[in-house]
Amino acid sequence: AQSVSQHNHHVILSEAASLELGCNYSYGGTVNLFWYVQYPGQHLQLLLKYFSGDPLVKGIKGFEAEFIKSKFSFNLRKPSVQWSDTAEYFCAVKERNDYKLSFGAGTTVTVRA
Amino acid sequence: GAVVSQHPSRVICKSGTSVKIECRSLDFQATTMFWYRQFPKQSLMLMATSNEGSKATYEQGVEKDKFLINHASLTLSTLTVTSAHPEDSSFYICSARQGHEQFFGPGTRLTVL
């Protein structure tokens, strides 16, 4: 099974600050990569995904992520956060020929107004 | 599109009783659904893969006789926690696969007294 590491457990920042959340995985083969967000009291929603092509992926709500194969990383970024970005963020990875997802431990992001 | 529902959203039961959780894909058919367990402040742990018309595939360490899964139709999978005990208290989340993506239900909070 994949091992997925998210470096930050809890990030606190002010509105308009930039956000970067780290994600590393262990599998050396071809992978599909995902970032999900879970707003308080809501279900997981897909922010963005990478399957192939341009390693810089743009998602919803102004988020983007960059796949760096040599570093086994898929870091999530947002240039300027809003209070509404307060949520739990999960990185997930699956091997290309499998359907099962492996999740990171999640990062709680708190944005102060 | 791609909406997944779960029922109930929360349930409280006595130790020794069985609890059934339903997962439905509302606007698409899903031959594969997944069941996860999420502990507070932790990641989603895959419990089992539910396959329509065939037996579920359980992850290592998950007791198949305790967590019964039935996927009788292309839009419904059920998870039954049999003879529940307090240590089974958790947040159970299902997802339904569409292509290489998973769409998640809102989760079911199970509390066993």
The tens digit of pLDDT for each residue in A27-77 reads 878 999 999 999 988 889 999 999 999 999 999 999 999 999 999 999 999
**Residue B55 in contact with residue B48, Cβ under 8 Å?**
no
The partner residue sitting opposite A44, judged by closest CB among B45, B97, B104, is B104
**Residue B80 in contact with residue B68, Cβ under 8 Å?**
yes
Q: Scanning every residue of chain B, which has its alpha carbon at the shortest distance from the alpha carbon of A10?
A: B41
**pLDDT surpassing 70 at residue A1:** no
Average pLDDT across chain A, whole number? 94
Chain B residues whose beta carbon lies within 8 Å of the beta carbon of residue A23: none
Average pLDDT across chain B, whole number? 93
B20: closest CA among B92, B74, B102?
A: B92
Average pLDDT for residues B12-18, to the nearest whole number?
A: 97
Residues 71-110 of B with CB under 8 A from A: 93, 95, 97, 100-107
**Residue B80 in contact with residue B18, Cβ under 8 Å?**
yes
Reported as half-sphere exposure (CB side, CA atoms, 13 A), residue B61 has a value of 4
**Cβ distance of A51 and B100 shorter than 8 Å:** yes
Residue A96: predicted pLDDT: 87
